[in-house]
Amino acid sequence: MVLFRTCGLGVIHHVCGEHEWVEGECSHGPLVSTEEGKTFLQMDSKSHKAVRDIVMDRAWLKTLAFYVKFR
């Protein structure tokens, strides 16, 4: 659960177009030309808060290990 919480933090930043932040960075490497110009969520917008609520939901995080293990 701790591992995904760390990755989840990355998702919260990534969807806003931030690929480096104080606590870490995305592991995807450089963006390719097809990814340039995409629209990202605004930090603290309603959509961003919804993503954050989902990614950090404790009940969902507890079930994640099952899905990751048996995918």
Summarize pLDDT for 1-58 with one digit per residue, the tens.
444 555 677 888 888 988 888 878 888 777 777 777 788 999 999 999 999 998 888 8
**DSSP states along 4-71:** HHHHHHHHHHHTTT--EETTEE-SS-SPPGGGTT---PPTTSHHHHHHHHHHT-HHHHHHHHHHHHT-
- Which position has the higher pLDDT, 70 or 20? 20
Q: Is the pLDDT of residue 64 over 80?
A: no
What confidence score (pLDDT) does residue 7 get?
65
pLDDT bin (cut points 50, 70, 90) of residue 71 is low
